[in-house]
Amino acid sequence: MDSQIKGVSTGTTILAVTFNGGVIIGSDSRASIGGYYVSSKTINKLIQVHDRIFCCIAGSLADAQAVTKAAKFQISFHSIQMESPPLVKAAASVLKELCYNNKEELQAGFITAGWDRKKGPQVYTVALGGMLLSQPFTIGGSGSTYIYGYADAKYKPDMSKEECLQFATNALALAMGRDNVSGGVAHLVVITEEGVEHVVIPGDKLPKFHNE
């Protein structure tokens, strides 16, 4: 009998954006199987890998969880060796190495964002295959295809915290309204020198831009 190996079809919307003094990382909360069956409406895709460093996941949830578990161990060990909090770039590089060394087996991508004393707020993209990019803001997942125009038009450097929160919330709301495998609630984490603030916006409280 003929057999076919089908790829993993998944859906999500993730983003991270820097502002004056910090960075915001966010995602939707819907997990799907095969892009059709919604297995969870409330999953938190924002993973804290150190005190002021978070990553968000897209792709195969099992792959992403395995990578972040290994990365958290390595980053914590690195912090103990250095006797100081890890740099955001060091945490992103750990994820990059794990993805690159296992690129034939993994189907997961990451956005890493955080704050450190050397460079302040930073955003890094770790793509499938282990490519590492530093960007002022980035979006990812299936829902990102609907909001590239919005993000390019509305992003501006050195936004205030309030402006950045509104930008991230609007972007997630637009993607969740259009992408059938993104949805649920909006998870946002604000990371600054002072600490970390979690923000959860229920689906019925998100802004609406069209007749959904």
Q: By CB neighbour count within 10 A (0-12 exposed, 13-18 middle, 19+ buried), where does 15 fall?
A: buried
Q: Which of 10, 12, 18, 169 is catalytic?
A: 12
For tokens 């195969």, the residue is 60
Distance, CA of 44 to CA of 142 (rounded, Å) = 17
Give every CB contact of residue 205 below 8 A, 6+ residues apart in sequence.
none
Is 12 one of the catalytic residues?
yes
Distance, CA of 76 to CA of 69 (rounded, Å): 11
Q: How far apart are CA 200 and CA 212, in angstroms?
A: 21
Q: Show the CA angle centred on residue 179, arms to residues 175 and 183, nearest 5°.
A: 75
User: Helix, strand or coil for residue 87?
Assistant: coil
Core vs surface per residue 154-193: b (16+ CB within 10 A) or e:
ebeeebeeeebbebbbbbbbbbbbbbebbbbbbbbbbbbe
Residues belonging to the active site = 12
